[in-house]
Amino acid sequence: MRLSPLRRSLALLVAAALGLALPAYRLFQGPRRSPAANSPGEADAVLSPLRAALPPGARLGVAVLEDPATSASDAARLYLTEYALAPAIATPVMLRDCFERGREACGLGKVGFLTLAAPEPHATQIAALLGLVPVARSGEVVLLGRRAP
């Protein structure tokens, strides 16, 4: 069965449009983020149960994968966590640096608590590697603190 030149051109046009539309859709869709990083309302709903476990003026680390100065999703996670857990003072803690260069290099030594968006058993395993213990949990976000002496 031979296609007429008009049908062949139309088929190529449709294939080209689909070939361009799908990657563009994925590009503009952006990376998936944790529920705490979607909007201020969602951040407040997910994280506010953790606020009771924090003392006033707590220094809080927010686990990020990349530098918030270069990663929009990690910057959103940092700012929305600080908003939802105010008056805690939030600072980014790059997990990769914690494992590669140690607690002080990643900023973990300067904070009393760390928020981590990870399901079980990963959260508990990461906490143990960092020398922290789970203090509170809300959804897939866990608040980690220092071990009691």
Average pLDDT, the chain: 78
Distance from C-alpha of 84 to C-alpha of 30, rounded to nearest angstrom: 23
In angstroms, the CA 89 to CA 149 distance is 24
pLDDT at 136 over 60: yes
10/24 same-domain check: yes
Compute the average pLDDT of residues 95-106: 83
- Rounded to an integer, the average pLDDT of 63-86 is 87
Predicted TM-score (pTM) above 0.85: no
Reported confidence tier of residue 25, pLDDT bands at 50, 70, 90: very low
Are both 104 and 53 inside the same structural domain? Answer: yes
Tell whether 82 and 111 lie within a shared domain.
yes
Which pairs count as long-range contacts for 71-79, CB under 8 Å and 24+ apart, including other chains?
73/30, 73/31, 73/33, 73/37, 76/33, 76/37, 77/33, 77/34, 77/36, 77/37, 77/117
Domain that holds residue 64: 35-146
How many other CB atoms are found less than 10 A from the CB of residue 128? 12
